[in-house]
Chains A and B, each alone.
Chain A
């Protein structure tokens, strides 16, 4: 909240009832409670002294104790009985709050779950007056969210405390679980998944780890090393930045496999005219591509390079042989 007159009035509609309820409040305390900068709050208060009961004669105006404000930094407001309760929640506010609480509910248990249920019932009750529709946004978290939230908290703490982490990480392209020590750097959300960015001591390089593939994370006592020589990445852009040695592969996708171009970063797409799509993408690990093509069979094929066509054909033939 900041900016114009409307926003200022919005802030005052929470400030005036708060102060009247508490009697008197320190500027810093009120600012913290309302999430407003203290100097902004003081400016807001100076608007108030020119407002009040229609007629606006001295006895009609809202009184702010300016001596207490300037002297002790304490706010006292009187003569504003009609602003004893804050403005009700707008549909957007009620909706944002209720969905956030429901989202918490999906990863809570025990006493917290009971608190969430009762607070949701009360808020939904308060929001329900015919005009306030709360259900305009909804979130359904992936399964395993509770474990994911706990993992996130643990890794977040390791980053804050600057400690190394021993990660057990599943690499689907190789169908392997690997154990490595990392210096955790940052948690990133991108493309619908959460990632840990970390310095990997096995690769001796920066790596991104998808959180849902972390099988175990043990926070170690050893301090994480600093890596000032590594420039920070803007991960939203570079999450799937191809390494220089990755192969550029062209795939032919039938209509039912077009989703590949939405899920994986592709360099270029070309319509084939019959509903299919030709895509170019960088592939770091040919084993990943083989698994993807097997999964898509028979709706995708490698156009080039030739050796990937051959390795995929060999893998499909080996798999099919198991059924003969």
Chain B
């Protein structure tokens, strides 16, 4: 029996049992196990079980004899089998599209494997039916796999991390809950075991390899943890405020694109005409001030005062005049 045959036969043996089957019976039944020495059998059987589990096969273990502590094994057909999924042709077509999304070898392979199983379960994927321009998701951080797999296995990890705006590199211990992406940047979310708090770490700021610490299933992910919600927190503050900026005609094209109002031919701060007044929606005072400052003498905030004051204070600071604090984006 080749190894593939042995694995599949073990799987079928455990799957067709109505009750747990003892390790001894398994050994007697499967020829390669029966022919092996005790020690070789133990090793082979452990490895085979692990490989089946790694495939996702739910191998259950229970004690079947109160006196001799004999373990028994089985695979419940209901846990093993993918439930039948009825999909319409359009639903099946979008599943086909999903395989184009990941630009990451591991995730792309997992998506294709999932598609193969769904196909085997009767989903008929017509890849030509839909011609939606599908977005692609890229992963370039080498630590992505380590964090993602640790979150699937629920294994603690240790790594060195450099916070934004800090020169210091510190070693962190994390219970990863998952990996999220916002605007093309990847973050790992979890419980910081040293600080006992939820934390998010940007993958590009990890300064070491990711080391797994201890066993799988070492922690529970808090019930109700919603990565969607956590990802949303990475979004910039919504643009709920409105400001007014004077801009020179023909300039500030970037800001004009998200202006909600425009009045042309107004008198500018230098007393000349040839300026336009833009109404701009913004999220935070500092982000608005920074956008205006980047246009130099082509843009001048009219309102609100707090943005105007911040621009004056920060520009004066750059010129060595008395200043408050200027803060860059986090």
* Interface pick from B63-71, B95-103, B277-285: B95-103
Q: Which residues 292-324 in A have Cβ within 8 Å of B in the complex?
A: 292-299, 301, 312-313, 315-323
With both chains docked as a complex, state the minimum distance between the C-beta of A189 and any C-beta of chain B, in angstroms: 4
Which of B82, B94, B182 has the most CB atoms of chain A within a 10 A radius of its CB? B94
Which chain B residue has the least Cβ–Cβ distance from A291?
B294
Residues of A within 8 A of B119 (CB): 14, 18, 33-34
Q: Mark A21-43, 1 if CB is under 8 A from B, else 0.
A: 10000000000011110000000
Closest beta carbon of chain B to A313's beta carbon, Å: 7
Closest to B234 in A: A140
Pick the contact of A138 from B95, B110, B185, B228 — CB < 8 Å? B228
Instruction: In the complex, identify which listed stretch (B35-43, B53-61, B191-199, B259-267) lies at the interface while the others stay far away.
Output: B53-61
Task: Decide yes or no whether B111 CB sits under 8 A from chain A.
Answer: yes
> What chain B residues lie within 8 Å of A131 (beta carbons)?
58
The answer on a CB contact under 8 Å between B55 and A13 is: yes
Q: How far does the alpha carbon of A301 sit from the alpha carbon of B326 in the complex, in Å?
A: 13
Is the C-beta of B22 less than 8 angstroms from some C-beta in chain A? no
Q: Which B-chain residue is minimally distant from A113 (CB atoms)? A: B94
**Interchain nearest-CB distance for B143 vs A (Å):** 14
A259 touches B328 (CB 8 A): yes
Query: What residues of A have a CB within 8 angstroms of the CB of B112 in the complex?
Result: 1, 35
B312 touches A51 (CB 8 A): no
Per-residue contact bits, chain A 82-122, to B (CB 8 Å; 1 contact, 0 not): 11111111111111110011011011100110011011001
CB atoms of A255 and B55 under 8 A apart: no
Q: Known contacts A90-B56, A259-B164: does B82 contact A126 (CB below 8 Å)?
A: yes
Known: A34-B119, A96-B102, A122-B85. A294 touches B294 (CB 8 A): yes
Q: How far is the CB of B184 from chain A (nearest CB, A)?
A: 3
Chain B residues with Cβ below 8 Å from A11 are: 116
Contact A262 B253 (CB under 8 A): no
**In the complex, chain B residues whose CB is within 8 Å of the CB of A319:** 293, 296-297, 299-300, 311, 315
Find chain A residues with CB under 8 A from B214 CB.
none
Bound: A122/B57 CA distance, A: 21
Closest to A153 in B: B133
Q: Which residues from chain B contact A83 at a C-beta distance below 8 Å? A: 12
Q: Say yes or no for A249: interface residue by CB 8 A criterion.
A: no
- Tally chain A residues at the interface, Cβ within 8 Å: 120
* Contacting residues of chain B (221-277) with chain A, CB-CB under 8 angstroms: 221, 225-228, 230-232, 234-235, 251-254, 268-270
Cβ-defined contact, B326 with A176, below 8 A: no
B4 and A9 form a contact (CB under 8 A): yes
B160 at the interface (CB under 8 A from A): no
In the complex with contacts A5-B3, A47-B5, A192-B183, A175-B252 CB distance below 8 A = yes
Stretch of A64-72, A141-149, A158-166, A200-208 at the chain-chain interface: A141-149
Q: Is the CB of A136 within 8 A of B269?
A: no
Which residues of chain A are within 8 angstroms of B205 by Cβ–Cβ distance?
262
A137 at the interface (CB under 8 A from B): yes
A18 / chain B contacts, CB cutoff of 8 Å: 119-120
**Distance, CA A84 to CA B305, complexed state (A):** 71
How long is the Cα–Cα vector from A13 to B116 in the complex, in angstroms? 10
Known interface pairs A87-B57, A108-B132. Does A100 touch B99 (Cβ–Cβ under 8 Å)?
yes
B-to-A contact residues, CB < 8 Å: 1-9, 11-13, 15-16, 29-31, 51-52, 54-58, 77, 79-88, 90-95, 97-99, 101-103, 107-122, 125, 130, 132-138, 140, 148, 151-152, 164-167, 177-185, 204-205, 221, 225-228, 230-232, 234-235, 251-254, 268-270, 290-291, 293-300, 308, 311-312, 314-319, 323, 326-330
Binding site for B on A (CB under 8 A): 1, 4-6, 8-15, 17-18, 21, 33-36, 47-48, 50-56, 82-97, 100-101, 103-104, 106-108, 111-112, 115-116, 118-119, 122-123, 126, 129, 131, 133, 135-142, 145, 148-150, 152-153, 170, 172, 175-177, 189-193, 236, 255-260, 262, 271, 275, 277, 290-299, 301, 312-313, 315-323
14 more CB-based (< 8 A) A-B contacts, given A35-B112, A320-B319: A13-B117, A17-B120, A35-B115, A84-B81, A88-B117, A97-B114, A100-B111, A103-B137, A108-B94, A138-B180, A259-B165, A294-B318, A298-B316, A322-B268
